[in-house]
Amino acid sequence: MTCTEFLAQLDDMLDQDAAIPLRADLQEHLRECDHCEVTLSTTRTTIQIYRSHELYELPEDLRERLHKAIMAKCKKC
């Protein structure tokens, strides 16, 4: 799995419960890639902050910003 593939999956995960365990192939990538691990933990923290304020639906602009930040970082990989 490449970083681009991983990050595309991560975007899908924004719609899911952050507590759901990662698929095995995603975990495999994280073991090899510190960059994606940091990106994942940052994204999860952001989602948890939103959910703790009972904003269960991520605002569209936040999704947009997260997505752009994720893909921008990926280019440096």
Cα–Cα dist 60/6, whole Å: 21
CB 48 within 8 A of CB 18: yes
CB of 61 to Zn ion, least distance (A): 25
Instruction: Give the interface segment with Zn ion, choosing from 2-10, 13-21, 40-48, 56-64 (CB under 5 A).
Output: 2-10
Number of chain positions touching Zn ion (CB under 5 A): 3
The single residue among 8, 13, 18, 33 that binds Zn ion, judged by CB under 5 A, is 33
**Residue 11: strand, helix, or coil:** helix
Nearest distance from C-beta of residue 19 to Zn ion, angstroms: 22
Question: Measured from the CB atom, is 8 or 50 closer to Zn ion?
Answer: 8
b/e map of 46-69 (b: 16 or more CB within 10 Å)? bbeebeeeeeeebeeeeeeebbee
Q: Which residues bind Zn ion (CB under 5 A)?
A: 3, 33, 36
